[in-house]
Amino acid sequence: MNAKILSRGAIGVAVAVALSAGYVAGHRDVPAPQIISPAEAAALMPAEAAAKTGVPDFSGLVETYGPAVVNISAKHVVKQTALRGNRGNLNGNQLPIDPNDPFFQFYKRFFGGMPGMQGGDGGGGGDAPDQPSASLGSGFIISSDGYILTNAHVVDGANVVTVKLTDKREFKAKVVGADKQSDVAVLKIDASSLPTVKIGDPRQSKVGQWVVAIGSPYGFDNTVTSGIISAKSRSLPHENYTPFIQTDVPVNPGNSGGPLFNLQGEVIGINSMIYSQTGGFQGLSFAIPINEAIKVKDQLVKTGHVSRGRLGVAVQGLNQTLANSFGMQKPQGALVSSVDANGPAAKAGLQPGDVILSVNGDDVSDSSDLPAKIAGITPGSTATLKVWRDKASKDVKVTIGSFSDAKVASTDKADQQTQLQGRLGVAVRPLTPDEKSSASVSHGLLVQQAGGAAASAGIQPGDVILAVNGRPVTNIDQLKQMISGAGNSIALLIQRDNAQIFVPVDLG
């Protein structure tokens, strides 16, 4: 066995010698890999180092742009009464949270909390003195005169914000503005000739490319971690306006607000969220694309607040079954599941069952694309939507509203019950006037029992069937006719717990 190992080693040496001489059998003109010194590698950006050595070397990036990454300490005065009963909240979160809530377990903000923020003595009176607390985060300098980007949740509610540079200098920072919707905040310190990062274009990045994070996890300043881009344009619960970059870069409490670099040393994102069941890194990190953050920054610096366009619809993605139900060859676009009455979409004639394919000529490949595209349109301006309706596309002109516009809904009829046998397999009855008023709908059939195809699709008793393939359902006979005349699949518009969604049903 040893002889075989030595033999392989000898072959390896022979190949190495051949390569160093620039020779590969049958390919005499193949150039030899370049040999560079550690000092030369350190001076290169990772992409250059990878091209010359075969592996990325991040030391040059860290030396060049590490000084532009800062540690942020935000001090708060927390009302003792607000903390009562919240023992064990993650990372200093001061809001009451149900630890069994799946969203609490799924997406957690991460900034390092001091023990005082865990709070909650479980009893006592309401007149306890206010308790000071602090949170730690990261940020990065984007202009030499002292503008800094970070996450809004890092400085939310802070009385004093302190920025510490890598050269140990500390500055009191002014919060120029913070936007909770995008989780972006802009700080300003009184300094000049500061080191800055280079801004890149995340749209040019690709899944599988190397990325680097620099930040202050658990307060350890200028910690460097690396990984790859796992996915792009991730849509997360309650985060409608940000197409997140997903990575497997190790980030932890305190990394929040720090930069995500590409191999060229350009910032392409702000590290903002992690997926975690423990509060620590578990392989899924999410960053705000820097181009979205810069748009927010520009508005915050100019006006102190962010203005967003609003369409007034709820949308969902399509799978192949839903696409078939609407006569589409492939699933694409954003399926409208509900329309706010008196909102911009309703005034333009948009309906549940419409599929929005593009906005001003810019394709909507998935439902997660739409909110950011609409939000970026100036309120009051006109947008052209390409909409798929009745198995054909058409253009719809919409006057975009403001995000601050209120949402409105509607109401209406009867009492009877029947069993729909066969293809769908539900027992339904019309809604009573009180039920319509409570659900804020003008029509629909209440599901009392579900079996067969409906149960397999996830339809439950208590759901309200509002439409079939985008056509409103007002009575039981109409539903029967729609089901009997349908193909192998349909899309039911269902209302459940005041939310509307299209459910694909395979009728076989």
CB atoms within 10 A of CB 12: 10
Burial (0-12, 13-18, 19+ Cβ within 10 Å), 415: exposed
SS3 288: strand
DSSP state of 27: B
What is the enclosing helix (H) or strand (E) of 143? none
Angle value at C-alpha 236, between 259 and 364, nearest 5 degrees: 95
Helix, strand, coil share (%) of the chain residues, nearest 5? 25, 35, 40
User: E-strand spans in 85-152?
Assistant: 107-109, 112-113, 131-141, 147-150
Partners of 76 in the beta sheet?
133
Distances (CA, A) of 213 to 134, 136, 275, 405: 23, 16, 16, 38
CB 502 within 8 A of CB 493: yes
Residues tagged active-site: 153, 183, 256
User: E-strand spans in 114-209?
Assistant: 131-141, 147-150, 160-164, 170-179, 184-188, 198-199
Check the annotation: does 153 bind a ligand.
yes
Residue 55 backbone class (left: φ over 0; alpha: ψ -120 to 50; beta: rest): beta
Check the annotation: does 248 bind a ligand.
no
Check the annotation: does 255 bind a ligand.
yes
- How far apart are the C-alpha atoms of 199 and 215, rounded to whole Å? 17
Check the annotation: does 254 bind a ligand.
yes
CB 134 within 8 A of CB 242: no
- How far apart are the C-alpha atoms of 280 and 300, rounded to whole Å? 31
Count the alpha carbons within 13 Å of 99 in the hemisphere toward its beta carbon: 9
Give the residue among 337, 325, 303 at the shortest CA–CA distance from 464: 337
Give Dmax (Cα) for the chain: 90
Check the annotation: does 227 bind a ligand.
no
Residues 6+ apart with CB under 8 A from 399: 344, 347, 348, 380, 381, 382
Annotated binding site for substrate: 153, 183, 254-256
Annotated binding site: 153, 183, 254-256
